[in-house]
Structure 1
Amino acid sequence: MLGASGMVGQGAAVQLRRLGADRLRLGARRPDALRRLVGGRLDGHGEVRPADATDPESLAAFCTGCDIVINCAGPTYQLKETVAAAAVAAGAHCVDVAGDDPAHERMVARGLAGTDRAVVFSAGVLPGLSSIVPRWMARAFERPATLTAHVGGREPCSPVVAADMLLSLRTGGADGAAFGEALAAWRAGRRRSRVLRATERNRVPGFPGLVAATPFLSAETERLARALALTDVDWFNVHPGSAVRAEMLRLPHYLTEAAGPAGAVDPTSTTAGTGAGESFGVRLARAAELDLAGRSPFYAMAFAMTGRAAGGPAGRTVLLRTPSSYHLTGLVGALAAQHVLAGDVPPGLHFAADVLDPELIVDGLHAASASLALSLTVSDTAPARGDSRSPADAGPDLSAEDLVEEGVL
């Protein structure tokens, strides 16, 4: 596993051990952190190797002899297909917890579309569970029609995540497009621009208190809408913290500075200066700390789907909550690797949501719920005929105690 010293990588390693893996090779540029992980949470199971995903020789040496390589290193939009290509060259399968359209396209461009190894991209939370859970929900319907999602949380932000956010404004989608489009939605089977609006300090399904919500239609969500033949999809990125929200609104400004000759920065650096004196990563990490002060971290995914079942209108809502999206991403990557090694995934290039059995993944979430303090709540409803609510009105209800937030003065 590459990137094993980070929050996602450590989470994946712990989950692999829980699933019974005892031959783990862990690689990162900071081997000392890996030795502590092996000696502590992995009970001595794990071979530690220094590894750098940006160094071809180091990467090739790490992949040699592996059955499968799990990539938890980043930034995703800088590495693209680098790890997957090295794994295939070494005769190994590959699971990438990120690796969106650009990685898939670069593998095709390298002539690796017909590889006899299984390569699974987008095997994390978002992208990943963001499509796997709706596909699982759709099995309750004869014909699903609409989906509304509210996704986000209040948790620490790593420099790699900050870098990917910055880079996603330019890449992440198919054919060199950005990762997605703000304010857009899926309507009548196609993308429609500027049909929704951002909201501030409103209550949204599945989240405590007052939050900001930004409509956003990603390439992954468009693939999901086409696969399920959905008529309408509303997707909202939720920002429970005001400090992180303020930095997110400045993202285009940071991108302009980073692109200019006077303000060129390395987006993975936590110390690189911009015209404002600090990098986006530094400011976003600090903002996340401010939003977390005196509060418990959490990440939530609230989905509401409508359609037809048993000959009439039907609805299903799912609320997934966990203290850490990083550890949850590690779990999804570990589950994907388990199914690849079990022969459940055919050779070739795949996105996780297209090839992993959603029933098995949801079963895996339930099995890991205690280790991750993870909850997954399902509610089925039967909308009355003529119900005029929009999909955005639907969603899981929270109990009174969920709406109480601890805080600090």
Structure 2
Amino acid sequence: MTGLIGVLGGAGAVGRTAVERLASFGLPLRIGGRSLVRADEVARAVGADATAVDLFDDDSLTRFCSGCAVVVNCAGPSYQVLDRVARAALAADAGYVDAAGDLVAVEALGHAPPSSLARRAAVFSAGLMPGLSGLLPRLLLDGTPVGRLDVYVGGSVEISEASAVDALLTRGPKFGHALAMWQAGRVVEHSLAPLRSVSLPGFRGRVHAVPFLSTEMRMLAAGGGIGELRNYTVYATENLPAAFATAWADDEQPPEAHAGAIVAAAARDVEEHGRHYTVLAYARPPAGSGLPARRVLLRTPDSYPLSGLVAAITARELAAGAVPPGVHYASEALDPRRVTAELAGDPLVSELALPEDAAATR
């Protein structure tokens, strides 16, 4: 399948990078956004057309998707978008890529699924986390036995209000399990404690790592035959964990009431420690196997543009017919070696160390 790629939210932090990379791939583009002025600014830079789109107006969304081969959604907040854009894209007989989206969006699309899924693909979680956070560890599951896999993702970046609300809503078993790990084929609740003021490869200074067995990591463990998996969200300081704890303890106010505090906490981290983000996965062999431990490490100055790059790569794969019809998560639908080959040459990646090469490629 080839043809026009429509990018919603093309003027945002994620969408702008997606647009730039898709243009560099030589793909024809249509850029949509709430502000026609901002969308047109991005579109003119790559020789594309721009249009104003309201994601919550059915007619507006239908017009944007019409004629597209693939629709890429980089707009949010994802807790409001859910499957709205996916259904509009599939109704227009287009493939779909969501730079965010997760199990909740996938489940929403699963209720009365569009018939076009028999011939078109819809890929969710095509960003950094979830996305690369689940894709990169798969490089360690290449047939070499893994007794235990530890994954660390995080750093210090600004957070938008929409992203803050999304983060506040990622609670409950559909999103993951706090302080839990995967062991012997099941989720073991309350089995891990936060790691305070620790040094981790690829992270700046001492950091705080909070255990959270996300749905993405649970699927990785179950599908990869991993004996034990521990997943941590990494913070530069205690600012964000404290802000999240305060918000989650408040049962009387909606999440939106605490978004400003989350945004401010992230801004303080960036002011104190600069902007940086890391994905580290460390695979330990089964006890007594005599095999060496292996790791994969990626560092980037900013998580949002890198999410845009992942969304662009995913859209190109759909346009090339490399993803089969149906609903997928990016971490499962993409080839990790093809993606890392792309990442290794991109200026958004400041360091990439692969299992076969302990030295950084950049």
- The answer to whether TM tops 0.5 is yes
For residues 231-310 of structure 1, the aligned pairs below 5 Å read: 231-254=227-250, 256-259=251-254, 267=256, 279-293=257-271, 295-307=273-285
Given residue 43 of structure 2, which amino acid in structure 1 is its aligned partner? V
CA distance in 2, matches of 1:295, 1:225: 32
How many residue pairs align between the two structures?
351
Q: Does 1:35 align with 2:35?
A: no
| TM-superposed deviation, 1:227 | 1.2
Aligned twin of 1:366? 344
Aligned twin of 1:54? 56
| TM-superposed deviation, 1:61 | 1.0
SS in 1 for 2:32: strand
**Inter-CA distance 241–14: structure 2 relative to 1 (3 Å threshold):** farther
Q: Of the candidates 136, 148, 151, which is equivalent to residue 149 of structure 1?
A: 151
Bigger Rg, structure 1 or 2: 1
Tell whether the 8 Å contact from 1:88 to 1:115 is kept in structure 2 after alignment: no
CA distance in 2, matches of 1:258, 1:18: 45
Q: Please list every run of at least 4 consecutive aligned residues from structure 1 whose deviation after the TM superposition is greater than 6 angstroms.
A: none
| TM-superposed deviation, 1:142 | 2.9
| TM-superposed deviation, 1:378 | 2.9
Q: Of the candidates 96, 99, 106, which is equivalent to residue 97 of structure 1?
A: 99
Aligned twin of 1:378? 354
Deviations 1:351-393 (A, max 9, x none): 112221111111111132x2x1432113569xxxxxxxxxxxx
| TM-superposed deviation, 1:252 | 0.7
Tell whether the 8 Å contact from 1:206 to 1:397 is kept in structure 2 after alignment: no
CA distance in 2, matches of 1:48, 1:285: 30
Tell whether the 8 Å contact from 2:314 to 2:334 is kept in structure 1 after alignment: yes
Aligned twin of 1:205? 201
| TM-superposed deviation, 1:330 | 0.5
SS in 1 for 2:196: strand
CA distance in 1, matches of 2:170, 2:205: 29
Tell whether the 8 Å contact from 1:205 to 1:397 is kept in structure 2 after alignment: no
SS in 2 for 1:244: helix
- Structure 2: gaps spanning 5 or more residues: 1-6
For residues 118-267 of structure 1, the aligned pairs below 5 Å read: 118-139=121-142, 141-170=143-172, 177-254=173-250, 256-259=251-254, 267=256
**Inter-CA distance 205–315: structure 2 relative to 1 (3 Å threshold):** same
CA distance in 2, matches of 1:145, 1:199: 21
Tell whether the 8 Å contact from 2:353 to 2:359 is kept in structure 1 after alignment: no
For residues 108-127 of structure 1, the aligned pairs below 5 Å read: 108-112=110-114, 114-127=117-130
Percent same amino acid among aligned pairs?
Answer: 35
Deviations 1:91-130 (A, max 9, x none): 1110111121112112221233743211111111111111
CA distance in 1, matches of 2:108, 2:241: 33
| TM-superposed deviation, 1:294 | 5.5
Q: Does 1:314 align with 2:292?
A: yes
Tell whether the 8 Å contact from 1:144 to 1:306 is kept in structure 2 after alignment: yes
Given residue 242 of structure 1, which amino acid in structure 2 is its aligned partner? E
CA distance in 1, matches of 2:318, 2:147: 31
Tell whether the 8 Å contact from 2:40 to 2:51 is kept in structure 1 after alignment: no
SS in 1 for 2:158: coil
CA distance in 2, matches of 1:284, 1:98: 19
Tell whether the 8 Å contact from 1:77 to 1:168 is kept in structure 2 after alignment: no
Aligned twin of 2:331? 353
Tell whether the 8 Å contact from 2:168 to 2:244 is kept in structure 1 after alignment: no
| TM-superposed deviation, 1:316 | 1.1
Tell whether the 8 Å contact from 1:315 to 1:380 is kept in structure 2 after alignment: no
Given residue 199 of structure 1, which amino acid in structure 2 is its aligned partner? L
**TM-score, length-normalised on structure 2?**
0.91
Tell whether the 8 Å contact from 1:131 to 1:224 is kept in structure 2 after alignment: yes
SS in 2 for 1:354: helix
SS in 2 for 1:258: coil
Most deviating of 62-71 and 50-59 = 50-59
| TM-superposed deviation, 1:397 | 11
**TM-score, length-normalised on structure 1?**
0.81
CA distance in 2, matches of 1:380, 1:69: 35
CA distance in 2, matches of 1:142, 1:294: 40
CA distance in 1, matches of 2:354, 2:95: 34
Tell whether the 8 Å contact from 1:145 to 1:229 is kept in structure 2 after alignment: no
CA distance in 2, matches of 1:253, 1:10: 36
| TM-superposed deviation, 1:154 | 0.5
Tell whether the 8 Å contact from 1:144 to 1:307 is kept in structure 2 after alignment: yes
| TM-superposed deviation, 1:317 | 1.0
